[in-house]
């Protein structure tokens, strides 16, 4: 906080106690305006951060819900395929007992194919999860950068506001000093 000094002429007019009260009043006004500006900036930042966080959480929930839906659909499709294969095997076993050995070989082939398909699906799911993780990481990084930029902007605005307040304070003081000097000049005459 800048030190306020009062000219001897003004100190003589106001008395020492009056000059001290004027300095104290000016200090209180400056401190109050600074606290109000900081409180307003903090409130805006908190609100903006909460809104951004809510949007991010909503988007993440949507993406996870969509992924879960796709996985459930694929699992249902696989269960339907497996059920169809089981029905075929049962029908063939009842019809042709002479072809039991050949049927066993076909079932083994189908089991291998199902295992391969499950492995392929597992690989695809793993790839999708990795992509989603990368995307989430990128979004978090973007969000972090945006928050950092906003904080920098708020700090810049605070510095500019403080400079403007000081400028206007000095202009006010100069104006007051000119008025006081004029009054003193006319009182002496």
Q: What is the pLDDT along the chain (189 residues), one digit of tens a residue?
A: 555 566 676 667 777 777 777 778 778 888 888 888 889 999 999 999 999 999 999 998 998 899 899 889 988 989 998 898 888 868 866 776 766 677 688 888 899 999 999 999 999 999 999 999 999 999 999 999 999 999 999 999 999 999 899 999 999 999 999 999 999 999 887
Domain limits at 76?
8-188
**Would 171 be classed as within a structural domain?**
yes
**Would 173 be classed as within a structural domain?**
yes
Q: How many domains does the chain have?
A: 1
What pTM was estimated for this model as a whole?
A: 0.30
**Would 156 be classed as within a structural domain?**
yes
Q: Measured on CA atoms in the order 156, 162, 168, 170, is the torsion positive or negative?
A: negative
**Would 14 be classed as within a structural domain?**
yes
**Would 91 be classed as within a structural domain?**
yes
**Would 2 be classed as within a structural domain?**
no
Half-sphere exposure of residue 38, counting CA atoms within 13 Å on the CB side? 6
Tokens of 155: 């700090």
**Would 3 be classed as within a structural domain?**
no
Q: Which of 82, 134, 79 is nearest to 110 (CA)?
A: 82
């Amino acid at each position: 906080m800048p030190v306020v000094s009062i000219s001897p002429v003004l100190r003589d007019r106001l008395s020492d106690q009056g000059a001290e009260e004027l300095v104290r009043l000016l200090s209180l006004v400056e401190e109050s305006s600074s606290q109000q500006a900081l409180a307003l900036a903090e409130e805006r930042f908190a609100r903006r951060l909460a809104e951004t966080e809510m949007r991010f959480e909503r988007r993440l929930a949507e993406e996870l819900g969509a992924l879960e839906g796709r996985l459930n659909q694929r699992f249902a499709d696989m269960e339907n395929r497996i059920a169809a294969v089981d029905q075929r095997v049962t029908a063939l076993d009842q019809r042709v007992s002479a072809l039991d050995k050949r049927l066993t070989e076909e079932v083994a082939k189908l089991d291998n194919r199902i295992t391969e398909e499950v492995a392929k699906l597992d690989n695809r799911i793993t790839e999708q999860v990795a992509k989603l993780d990368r995307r989430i990481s990128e979004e978090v990084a973007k969000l972090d950068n945006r928050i950092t930029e906003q904080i920098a902007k708020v700090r810049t605005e605070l510095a500019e506001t403080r400079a403007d307040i000081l400028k206007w304070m000095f202009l006010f003081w100069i104006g007051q000093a000119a008025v006081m000097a004029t009054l003193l000049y006319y009182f002496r005459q």
